Amino acid sequence: MKKVAVVSLYFLSEEEGGQKSLITGDFSTPIVFDLDKELKYGLWSVVVELHVQPNECRNAEANLYFLCHDSSEAPNHLLEPENSFSLRTNKTIAKGKIEYIKNE
């Protein structure tokens, strides 16, 4: 069963070091959890499925799960309510927090 987190996201502006234009569709990108900044569990990519496009304040809600969610090595234990994280490309593009978990 795939572990899916419902998350709140804030997309950094270009002035904050983020991307110039907002992401408007679903995407996948590496994630770094605040409680695992040393990447003890490795660097993993997640799939982000936006519920709606980011609003004028650059906030959005989305479903988030590991791209390789069926791997026994995937750190699914990090997908827990209240855990915060950063989504990255070559820089941090968004910061977020897990609101709750749903199983699909």
Domain count, the chain: 1
Per the CB < 8 A criterion, the answer to whether 93 and 9 are in contact is no
What's the pTM value of the predicted model, to 2 decimals? 0.93
Q: Which domain holds residue 80?
A: 3-103
Q: Do residues 81 and 93 make contact, with C-beta atoms less than 8 angstroms apart?
A: no
CATH code for the domain in which residue 65 is found? 2.40.30.10
In the structure, what pLDDT confidence band is assigned to residue 17 with cuts at 50, 70 and 90?
A: very high
Cross-strand pairs, 62: 7, 50
pLDDT tens column, 26-46: 999 999 999 999 999 999 999
Give the type of residue at 28.
S
